[in-house]
Amino acid sequence: MEEQDNKEVPLFEFLSLKRKKDDQKRMPWYYAPSFLLLWVALFYAIVIPLFNRLPDKVTISEESLRPGEFVGERAQKQLFDFDRIGVKYVGSTANEVKTVEFLVNEVEKIRSEMKSDLYDLDVDVQSSNGGYVLGRIRIYQGIQNVVVKLSSKNFPSDSYLLLNSHFDSKPSTPGSGDDGTMVVVMLEVLRQMAISETPFEHPIVFLFNGAEENGLMGSHAFITQHKWAANCKAYINLEVGGSGGRDLLFQSGPQHSWLMKYYKSYAKHPFATTLAEEIFQSGILPSDTDFRIFRDFGKIPGLDIAQAKNGYVYHTIFDTYQNVPGRSIQNTGNNILSLVQAFSNATELNEVEAYQNDGHSVFFDYLGLFFVYYTESTGIILNCIIGVLGLILVGWSLWRMSQKSEEVSLKQISIWFAIILVLHVIGVLLSICLPLLMAVMFDAGDRSLTYFTNNWLVLGLYICPAVIGLVLPLTLYYTLMPNRKLSYAYQIQMSLHAHLVLLTIIVFIATALGFRSEYSCLISLIFYSGALLINLLSKLHDKGFNWTLIVLCLQVFPFCYFYYLFYLLLVIFFPILGRSGSASNPDLIVALLCGCAVLSALGFSAQLINMFRWPKLILFGLGVVTFIFCMLAVSDVGFPYRAKTNVMRISCVHTRRIFYEYDGSVSHDDSGYYFNYQDRRGLNPLKDSALNLTGVVPVSSFCDDYVMCGVPCFAWCGWRERDGWLPRESEVIIPGEFYLKFLEKTVSEVNGTVRLSFQLYGAPHMNIFMQPVGSAVFRDWSFDRNMLDNPEKFELPYQVYLACGTDRSPLEFYIEMENPDKDYTVPVLELAVVGQFITYDYERDAESQRFVSEFPDFVHVTEWPAILKRYIF
């Protein structure tokens, strides 16, 4: 039971309480719902509108009235034509012929409008062969890029700016969002630069990249082989991780903070965060961009910019023209045109190397209203100064409490503060652990991804438990062990001080570890320290609860920023978790994000729940909300998938497998469907559908017998043991020829090794999987030696992926093995080769088409025929 003198008092009287007896009183409990709903209202009234804010589209009819501006309507019309070409996977007629023709024709239209007295325009259709190692060996033949250089006649600079996007798509999607949006943005930027009355200093290379989706091959071909590549001194890479929304700057540099100076000055709609950069580069997201290729192989600095909204249609058949808002194209076009104009006149391009060591950047925008950046070294200084000042203010506050309180020493107050600090740390841990516990419980009941369509479910499932966990320890302390010697207003202040101390410790540790995203903690420190300083100087600090007005007013600013930031992360992660594989529980990521959001946005404000009478009842009410949301989540409301908008993803490869033994005999020949599970639920959501999945077995049952578990995995081989195999009685008809020809076996008496030579040809996309047999080891091969020279970085079996664009010539290669006993009359190598007939230039057999058509309408199936042949040599 609450103490007797803890009576309800009106709001204004409560705020101005002065007498010691009255200091123990609390606000009426019925104000608490309004207090909590205030933050929800701020989120929907401020954060959401600013997050979704986009400029009006400039139409062609307005162009004469708005010269020099990006014309979104023209770009949107070009996107319609781009969409009609269809699926543009590498090796397909649509990609290698039709899209290349489309781009060349559009560039020629621009040439006809160009101010030829001011500019030169050169076009080159690059076709290249090459290879490199990135996770696996990647080889390409006949990969095409459309490369355009626009230069001013009066400025013969040798330093070029590179602007890149890719026109190829994943199987089954026309790629109108990813990356057609950026292709048409580049075309319109090229046009505006070519008709401008104001020449620029540095030539601009527009790289329309024809092979990004199958291993970043197009950018590698350009940066390592093209005649203009060596002159490119900086770049802007344009990507899309969904369809629409604002364009997010999520990678920069490295070690070139001057890029941020230009982004701050010239990006018309800034949208950026260092946190996104650190998350992306950590490898948590199952994605990569051409930024990596330009950075690692070209050694040049740049910016990586992407639209990231509506990732549900990403790499699906629904990534179409209809799902790309014209205002999103306008937003990106405004930014990119302005940045290109600035970078093409940047003096830094003349001597980029001189700016290489100016450090990483800390950067972020505030609700899209303005942009902040500073160097990493400046960040370290700021972190230390603000952290120390915050601690000094807390010490000052505790001293003031001792001076204003009767018969209470600074030592006693310090002891009480230490207790509050410990309890607050427990609350912080609970605010993370309770949402994680919810995630574990839902996963254990096969109810993961319940928020996939109805995102608002996270409010009750994870945010409410996080608030409960954060506040509960101190609530119990204040109610079960009331301190009558110290003003209750002071005790609440001390709980907020405890959060400042904890954040300061986190900032110091993160700074020491080299993280730059600790700027987010710095924002919290600045606004609370500012409020504390105002309260101390104005003496509101000692006038009951009057200090809360200053705290709450200033907490609005970090609250809006943090929920803007975490809403961005959730918008990105919600769709990604539907394609992040079945190996891990995706709800853990959402729970962790929600817990961190509560700590960041409400770390100070949530403790004010204890100002109200019956705070345990308030927390109980939040628990009831959680229970209601749990019931909704386990009902049909929580079923993750919806047709066309929020689909379940499945990869289904119609496979024929032939296993040859050492003597050349066939030990096994079968056909079936190889399923790669894209999300945590696997095939479970399909159990009640009309689809016949009787006989599905885990791929792990083959892993002890065959290299790469005997399945034709493509780009997601790391998940193979959790995938599924469904046998089929009839043979899968492979729509093309596919051969591995064994050329010769040569034993070297000098080296004590055996060289096996092969020729592989037939399919536009091929995989080679290889591992030693017995005690044999790899000694050499005709591929890049990176794997052999750094075996600790790669796992067996080794993988080679070959993609063919316009060049289908046979691949000849050799593998050199060594047996310790030098006996080569026994097997030394297990080799599997896979022919992937992915593009729609190849017809699927009738039974495969029927099987795919039986999937429910909420499932998006990526499918193609493949043949796997396993050999022992």
Mean pLDDT for the chain overall = 93
372 in a structural domain: no
For residue 443, being part of any structural domain is answered with yes
2 within some domain:
no
Give yes or no: residues 265 and 346 share one domain: yes
Boundaries of domain holding 336: 60-136+144-367
pLDDT band of 22, cuts 50, 70, 90: very low
Q: Which of 638, 664, 686 is the last residue of a domain?
A: 638
Query: Which pLDDT score is estimated for 6?
Result: 46
Rounded distance between C-alpha atoms, residue 52 and residue 269, angstroms: 12
pLDDT tier at 2 (50, 70, 90 boundaries)? very low
What b/e string do you get for 464-482 counting C-beta neighbours within 10 Å, with b at 16 or more? bbbbbbbbbbbbebbbeee
Task: Please report, for the domain that includes residue 282, its CATH number.
Answer: 3.40.630.10
Q: Which pLDDT tens digit goes with each residue over 83-129? A: 999 999 999 999 999 999 999 999 999 999 999 999 999 999 999 99
Rounded to 5°, the CA angle 454-590-595 comes to: 115
More confident residue, 812 or 720: 812
Distance CA 822, CA 779 (A): 13
The reply to whether 616 falls in a domain is yes
Please answer whether residues 632 and 451 qualify as being in contact, where contact means their C-beta atoms are separated by less than 8 angstroms.
no
pLDDT (0 to 100) of residue 21 = 45
* C-alpha span between 802 and 814 (Å, rounded): 15
Same domain, yes or no: 103 and 206: yes
- Digit-coded pLDDT (tens) for 661-670: 999 999 999 9
Nearest to 793 by CA among 138, 216, 287, 135: 135
- Which of 313, 315, 341 has its CA nearest to residue 328? 313
Confidence label for 406 from pLDDT (cuts 50, 70 and 90): confident
The answer to whether residues 343 and 386 belong to one domain is no
Q: Which residues contact 815 (CB under 8 A, 6 or more apart)?
A: 755, 756, 758, 770, 778, 780, 781, 782, 829, 831
| pLDDT at 740 > cutoff 50 | yes
Task: Assess whether pLDDT exceeds 90 at residue 405.
Answer: no
Q: Exposed (0-12), middle (13-18) or buried (19+): which is 138, by Cβ within 10 Å?
A: buried
Does 395 lie in the same domain as 533?
A: yes
Question: Does residue 858 lie in a domain region?
Answer: yes
* Average pLDDT score over residue span 506-526: 93
Q: Give the pLDDT mean for 411-421.
A: 95
Q: Do 608 and 662 reside in the same domain of the chain?
A: no
> Which element (helix H / strand E) includes 815?
strand 811-818
Residues 578 and 717 in one domain: no
Residue ending a domain, among 638, 663, 696, is: 638
Write the CB contacts of 694 (distance below 8 Å, at least 6 apart in sequence).
Answer: none
DSSP state letters, 253-293: ESS-THHHHHHHHH-SS--BBHHHHHHHHTT-SS---HHHH
Three-state secondary structure call for residue 802:
strand
410-444 vs 464-480: helix axis angle to the nearest 10?
Answer: 140
Mean pLDDT throughout 198-210? 97
CA-based nearest residue to 482, from 23, 18, 11, 127: 23
What are the CA-CA distances from residue 816 to residues 225, 744, 748, 834 (Å)? Answer: 29, 12, 10, 21
Residues 596, 498 within the same domain: yes
User: Is 556 part of a structural domain of the chain?
Assistant: yes
More confident residue, 349 or 30: 349
What pLDDT, in 10s, does the model give residues 72-84? Answer: 999 999 999 999 9
Statement to judge: residues 340 and 299 lie in one domain: yes
Share of the chain above pLDDT 70, in %: 97
Pick the last residue of a domain from 367, 394, 429.
Answer: 367
Lowest mean pLDDT among 280-289, 394-403, 846-855: 280-289
What number is the average pLDDT over the span 593-620? 94
Are 27 and 151 contained in the same domain?
no
Provide the pLDDT confidence category of residue 688 given band limits of 50, 70 and 90.
confident
pLDDT, tens digit, 9 for 90 and up, residues 772-805: 999 999 999 999 999 999 999 999 999 999 999 9
Q: Is the pLDDT of residue 716 over 80?
A: no
**Is residue 754 a part of any domain in this protein?**
yes
How far apart, in Å, are the Cα atoms of 278 and each of 250, 251, 285, 497, 558? 9, 8, 11, 29, 21
> What is the mean predicted confidence (pLDDT) over 561-565?
96
Q: Is 55 contained in some domain?
A: no
Tell which wins on pLDDT, 687 or 264: 264
Average pLDDT over residues 236-257: 93
Residues 45 and 119 in one domain: no
The torsion region of residue 247 among left (phi > 0), alpha (psi -120 to 50) and beta comes to beta
* pLDDT for residue 161 is more than 60: yes
pLDDT for the residue 714 = 87
Which is higher by pLDDT, 715 or 334? 334
Q: Which pLDDT score, from 0 to 100, does residue 702 have?
A: 93
Do 268 and 407 lie in one domain? The reply is: no
pLDDT of the residue at 10: 53
559 and 430 belong to one structural domain: yes
For residue 192, what is the enclosing H or E element? Answer: helix 182-194
Identify which has the larger pLDDT, 146 or 715: 146
Give the pLDDT mean for 266-293.
90
pLDDT score at 358: 66
Instruction: Read off the pLDDT band of 1 (50, 70, 90).
Output: very low
The pairing of strands 829-836 and 859-872 is antiparallel
pLDDT of residue 23: 42
Please determine, for residue 831, whether its predicted confidence score (pLDDT) is greater than 50: yes
Q: Is the pTM of this model over 0.75?
A: yes
**Number of domains the chain is built from:** 3
Share above pLDDT 90 across residues of the chain, in percent, rounded to a whole number: 87
